[in-house]
Amino acid sequence: MFFVFKDVDISSYSSRIQKVSSSWFLFAIFISLFEFIVRAYRWNLLLEFKYKKLSVYKTTLGLIISYLSAIILPRINDIVRCYVLTKTDKVKFSMSIGSVVTERIVDLISVFILSLILLLVEFDRFYNYLMIEVVANTEIDKIVYYLFLFFSICIFLYFFLNQIFRRFGFYEKFTEKINEFKSGLLSIFSLEKKLEFFMSTIILWLIYFFVGYILFFSVEETSMLGFSAALSILVAGAIGTIVPVNAGIGAYHLFVSSILIYYGIVYEDALFFATLVHANQVIAIMFYGLISLIFFYFNVYKRN
């Protein structure tokens, strides 16, 4: 956050906020609700091979609550939503974690496909953006090193725990959890509704796209931007949220504001728009999250 805002006059934001169209801003928050519902529905599809009667209503509540937790601690949302399912539908935690990993892999593939589409539609802008803003500011060798280190530690822990649990008589429990994780991870190959999963993934990204596009009209400086610019901030924002920080704070602002510069938007205006979009997402999560907590407590938790 310091790196992104160090040369920006934050005091000017109060006057900028007053010029924001509240109707477009609130409309984007309303549309965000469908993002949570569609994602919850898609997650249910991955678990249907084992749990036939999962409620989209309860999964949606758990999903929104988990996003609320991610504002406090990065990436804890995936653990929280899996934990919620263990309480609401007795879904095995290790299996649901495996399904979440699969879901994240599908999201990464989706971002890759969207990046290719953007590269075809806006080759010059997106290529320059990747080379100047992303690759030049990214230490590739360190990323490769940390990825190698991460996977090495995972492999070491697997074999180490395997031997420890075998020696102390917990081997059966350990292998049971590993097998549950694998079944969740490979759940995409057991999909009974493949078309529904494919369509829900497309709809999910369309919602992300239209939220960004709608917010163009909330600020005068970006009101002339079109669909290609909306696709650009969708991809840039997705790249920003991959960075493991609380709710993408800072990273999201950097990536989205950087790509808008290639559409003739000055940095201060681009950064304000990125802040506006991010604030819209955070407000939506907090608003729906608090409501979900209330509904979850009275309609789900107490009944169970």
Handedness of CA 205, 206, 209, 211 (dihedral sign): negative
Cβ neighbours of residue 19 closer than 8 Å, sequence gap 6 or more: 219, 220
Q: What is the per-residue pLDDT for 229?
A: 87
- Tell me the pLDDT tens digit for each residue of 219-275: 888 888 888 889 888 988 887 776 666 666 777 888 888 888 888 888 888 888 988
- Tell me the pLDDT tens digit for each residue of 201-210: 999 999 999 9
Residues of the chain with pLDDT under 50: none
Gap between the Cα atoms of 278 and 252, Å rounded: 7
Q: What is the per-residue pLDDT for 215?
A: 92
Q: What is the per-residue pLDDT for 247?
A: 60
Residue 90 burial (10 A CB sphere; 0-12, 13-18, 19+): exposed
Gap between the Cα atoms of 132 and 126, Å rounded: 10
Q: Are 29 and 214 in contact (CB under 8 A)?
A: no
Would you give the distance in Å from CA 262 to the centre of its chain? 25
Q: Are 9 and 182 in contact (CB under 8 A)?
A: no
